[in-house]
């Protein structure tokens, strides 16, 4: 897994090369909404991209993580089917529904049944390299979502230069990123991570949680400000020294929300002595998101090393899928 994380910048570069070659058949009717349907490592890119593009995309982007699609899906909906393996049963069922509803469907996959369905229905389909854990291929899947939105004329081209700058940033900062990640590994070892971020970085925080779950084999949770100030903050009412709070921060965060973070830290400090912040780097939301993703991916790998466990292994998920396959 560490080799795959190390290769993240190169993966992003390769993903851009793939995206530049993608073909997009323009829909016969106007697109009024977008749904990215996918789960786990294949679906988190949808959450991240939808947040980054919220101020630019001309139509709403929703992320679906279930067997079912909303009832509003119709011929005016662009459904982006994202499944790394191409065999995710929830995503396959959602894709079948999208086709039945005559939505405009495009797939991002490495193969499997979804690639076969795309070919059978003559759908646009972006093929990405296979054979790796889906969570380690976020660079491939996330980048293609930008290309899809651009290909269907829902966003412009500015994201490309920002992504290239983000790649350069994490390459230049690699030593510092690894060093900070190692510090956080010691901080989180034998603790319950509690991750907080501001609205707009929910996808990045979710990605961090998922990587802790899968790579580090640890339970944790996350929440977003200012929402958590209206509910979860009240839960900090007794000692939780087993919890280690990690706050993902950006210099660009809204001033009132930054103030909320500082006040919230005062509350946390009454009940846990373990509170640390990770400050992003970069001049755009894409740069800051990519930076945080890369740093927190390293944390999850270093935690696995410290625990002397295999970061790649996901036997419990394989057991679940195997049990479902028998039904």
Catalytic residue among 230, 238, 262, 266: 230
Q: How many CB atoms lie within 10 A of CB 25?
A: 12
Q: Tell me which residue has tokens 């390459």.
A: 171
Active site residue 172: no
- For residue 160, which of 41, 52, 300, 270 has the smallest C-alpha distance? 52
Buried b (16+ CB within 10 A) or exposed e, 56-95: ebeeebbbbbeeebeeebeebbbbbbbbbbbbbebbbebb
Tokens of 7: 């290769």
Active site residue 319: no
Task: Measure the CA angle with vertex 116, ends 111 and 121; round to 5°.
Answer: 135
Q: Tell me which residue has tokens 């195997």.
A: 322
- For residue 65, which of 53, 78, 83 has the smallest C-alpha distance? 83
- Say how far apart CA 266 and CA 171 lie, in whole Å: 35
Residue 102: left (phi > 0), alpha (psi -120 to 50), or beta? Answer: left
Tokens of 2: 């560490």
Q: How many CB atoms lie within 10 A of CB 41?
A: 22
Catalytic residue among 100, 172, 270, 321: 321
Active site residue 281: no
Catalytic residue among 104, 214, 222, 294: 214
With contact defined as beta carbons under 8 Å apart, do 105 and 99 qualify?
yes
Tokens of 123: 């759908």
Residues with a catalytic annotation lie at 214, 230, 321
């Amino acid at each position: 897994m560490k080799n795959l994380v190390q290769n993240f910048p190169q993966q992003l570069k390769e993903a851009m090369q793939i995206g530049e070659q993608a073909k997009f058949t323009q829909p016969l009717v106007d697109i009024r909404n977008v749904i990215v349907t996918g789960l786990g490592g294949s679906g988190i890119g949808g959450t991240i991209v939808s947040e980054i593009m919220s101020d630019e995309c001309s139509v709403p982007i929703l992320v679906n993580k279930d067997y079912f699609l909303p009832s509003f899906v119709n011929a005016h909906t662009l459904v982006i089917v994202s499944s790394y393996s191409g065999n995710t049963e929830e995503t396959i069922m959602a894709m079948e529904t999208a086709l039945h509803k005559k939505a405009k469907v495009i797939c991002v996959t490495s193969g499997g049944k979804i690639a076969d369905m795309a070919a059978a229905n003559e759908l646009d389909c972006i093929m990405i390299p296979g054979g790796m854990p889906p969570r380690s291929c976020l660079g491939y899947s996330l980048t293609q979502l930008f290309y899809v939105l651009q290909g269907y004329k829902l966003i412009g081209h500015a994201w490309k230069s920002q992504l290239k700058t983000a790649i350069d940033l994490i390459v230049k900062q690699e030593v510092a990123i690894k060093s900070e990640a190692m510090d956080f590994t010691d901080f989180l070892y034998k603790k319950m991570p509690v991750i907080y971020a501001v609205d707009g970085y929910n996808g990045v925080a979710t990605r961090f949680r998922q990587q802790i779950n899968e790579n580090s084999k640890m339970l944790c949770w996350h929440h977003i400000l200012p929402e958590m100030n209206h509910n979860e903050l009240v839960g900090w009412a007794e000692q939780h020294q087993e919890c280690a709070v990690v706050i993902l921060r950006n210099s660009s965060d809204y001033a009132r929300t930054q103030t909320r973070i500082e006040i919230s830290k005062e509350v946390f400090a009454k009940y846990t002595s373990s509170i640390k912040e990770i400050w992003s780097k970069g001049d755009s939301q894409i740069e800051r998101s990519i930076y945080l993703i890369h740093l927190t991916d390293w944390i999850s790998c270093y935690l696995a090393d410290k625990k002397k466990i295999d970061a790649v292994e996901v036997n419990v998920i394989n057991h679940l899928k195997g049990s479902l396959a028998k039904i």
